[in-house]
Structure 1
């Protein structure tokens, strides 16, 4: 079975931001996301793979037998846009997206250009809904905060 590429690393999150993020506004938005998601989740940021900043972790097992660990919430300040790993497919999350702001939906993430494009209060609700979903559906030693 293939080894998971996205695992938690020992790289310092702030060193990563300072070396990887080249635009000042994206750095500021990254630092704000860290502050917000840390406060909402109760988890400190950790690097997952080379470019994902994750908060907390949970264990998943697919029907195929593939299993691993993943961050409960996360984001990546990619060159073109932010990838937000904060979404769980629930009725509440889908309803919240209607008023979220300017974004694109990927298979497992939400893409935004900058924080000013979205409603931060809805971001908070999406994060909390995702934490609740993962807590209910996955083995999560750090959930339930």
Structure 2
């Protein structure tokens, strides 16, 4: 796996032993699941692939299709299709907290990595299968993907 210089620079700043170890695990897992190389998004997110979104309001753009950030308090896993799309699997994941589109993990040794892989794979497939039309807060409500492009 090639590691972008910006990604390597970010990883060099991660001093928390568990976050650094978890980042190495996630580099491999995200790369395997997405088939993409890691690149830095927004200065602090290690992202894989990208997707195009278009909301009913007309707003549209591009964003990372999958990603994570080794933050001080916990590792953030970004799920652009929203936490609500993964309720059943999250019940099997192990200790975590969440926001609208983020999953927060403090120690991957306490989580089921097979379940995490399923969550990431599903989210990645959902947002990268066409033009994605839902915001994270709306995830789990219909597919949100329009592949008429």
Please tell me the TM-score bracket, short chain as reference.
0.7 to 0.9
Higher strand share: 2
What is the alpha-carbon distance in structure 2 between the residues aligned to residue 27 and residue 61 of structure 1?
35
Q: Which residue of the other structure, out of 45, 55, 62, is the alignment partner of 1:62? A: 55
User: 1:97/1:44 Cα in 2 relative to 1: closer, same or farther (>3 Å)?
Assistant: same
Q: Which residue of the other structure, out of 127, 131, 134, is the alignment partner of 2:127? A: 134
| Secondary structure, counterpart of 1:71 in structure 2 | strand
What is the alpha-carbon distance in structure 2 between the residues aligned to residue 99 and residue 89 of structure 1?
17
User: 1:15/1:91 Cα in 2 relative to 1: closer, same or farther (>3 Å)?
Assistant: closer
Q: Which position in structure 2 is the counterpart of 1:50?
A: 43
What TM-score do the two structures reach when normalised by structure 1?
0.80
Q: Between Structure 1 and Structure 2, how many residues are aligned? A: 129
- Summarize the alignment of residues 99-118 of structure 1 with structure 2, pairs less than 5 Å apart: 99-118=92-111
Q: Which position in structure 2 is the counterpart of 1:32?
A: 25
Q: Which position in structure 1 is the counterpart of 2:9?
A: 15
What is the alpha-carbon distance in structure 2 between the residues aligned to residue 90 and residue 29 of structure 1?
20
Two-structure CA RMSD over aligned residues (Å):
2.0
Once the two structures are TM-superposed, the CA of residue 11 in structure 1 deviates from its matched residue by 5.3
